Amino acid sequence: MWGQPPPAVRSSEARHPLPRYNLAMRRFVLLLLLSSLLLAAQTVPEVEITAEPHHHLILENKSVRVFYVEVPPHTDTLMHWHRHDYVYVVLGAAEVVNQVKGKAALAVKLQDGQTEFLPGNFAHVAHNPTDGTFRNVTIEILEDAKLRQAPTHWDESRGLDILQGGTKEILWVKDGVRASEFELQPGGVVPPHHYAGEQLFVAVSDLDLRVDVPLKGPNPVAMPAHLKSGEAQWMPAGESSRMTNVGPKPARFVTLEFP
């Protein structure tokens, strides 16, 4: 009895092979649909970075174009172009899936304040797979073609300086631009120094700074005493200042010095 299947089952299978056919057909249609979606994704036109809605332009001059980038949880950017070499400063630890056009997707983990340089001339999509918002500051180096050919004049490309109540770490020199990361404890001081060229100041954390000598020049500017994480300030060349962290928390910021 147990070795023989019920006759009704055999009879049903013999008379109605249609369910197996339907299952195979459904699988075929599903594969066809997925193939069509993948093909459509590959043919989506790229947009310029200025047309990508997660990139918000916050500063622009002849040297840089600075974007505040904010990608909500489980969201993709549009496929967008980076026409110039660029730098990104990560705001908060994050995980991102980077899909460069024509290449396999790559998942990367990023640390708060991580500052990286990337050669331009590519299009990509950034996917945020996490439950938190992915934030960064993206800085396009608009004169990258000229700067690549210019000789570097920096004495150091890496190094750590101990400040009064803080540190300054030179991260790298790319396209003649030197990136440094500062961390100041409450009361910490960056001593007065002479800027060889113009520089961009990017706040990694919310911070309160006192600038003892106001910045001067043909177009006078004063660096705000209060900066929010992700805000940026362009600083003219040749000015000397002393910066003190007057806030209750450590202050973290990145500078990009231009030749």
DSSP reduced 3-state for 2: coil
Q: What is the pTM of this model?
A: 0.79
Q: Does domain 153-257 have CATH number 2.60.120.10?
A: yes
Location of structure tokens 């396009």: 140
Are 252 and 140 in contact by the 8 Å Cβ rule? The answer is no
Question: What six digits make up the tokens of 3?
Answer: 């070795």
Are 134 and 70 in contact by the 8 Å Cβ rule? The answer is yes
State CA 93 to chain mean position distance: 11
Looking at residue 179, its pLDDT comes to: 96
Query: Which of 226-244 are b and which e, b meaning 16 or more Cβ less than 10 Å from the residue's Cβ?
Result: ebebbbbbbbbeebebebb
Looking at residue 97, its pLDDT comes to: 98
Give pLDDT tens digits for 180-222.
999 999 999 998 876 668 999 999 999 999 887 655 555 545 5
49-145 belongs to which homologous superfamily? Jelly Rolls (2.60.120.10)
Same fold: 49-145 with 153-257:
yes
Looking at residue 154, its pLDDT comes to: 79
User: What whole-number distance in Å separates Cα of residue 247 and Cα of residue 78?
Assistant: 38
Are 166 and 189 in contact by the 8 Å Cβ rule? The answer is yes
Question: Can you give the residue ranges of every domain in the chain?
Answer: 49-145, 153-257
Looking at residue 103, its pLDDT comes to: 95
Q: Are strands 159-174 and 177-190 parallel, antiparallel or unpaired?
A: antiparallel
Looking at residue 83, its pLDDT comes to: 98
Query: Residue 215: which residues within 8 A CB-CB, separation 6 or more?
Result: 221, 222, 223, 235, 236, 239, 241
Give pLDDT tens digits for 55-74.
999 999 999 999 999 999 99
**Mean pLDDT per 10-residue section of the chain, whose length is 259 residues:** 46 47 61 47 79 98 98 98 98 97 96 98 98 98 94 80 96 95 96 80 95 59 78 82 91 95
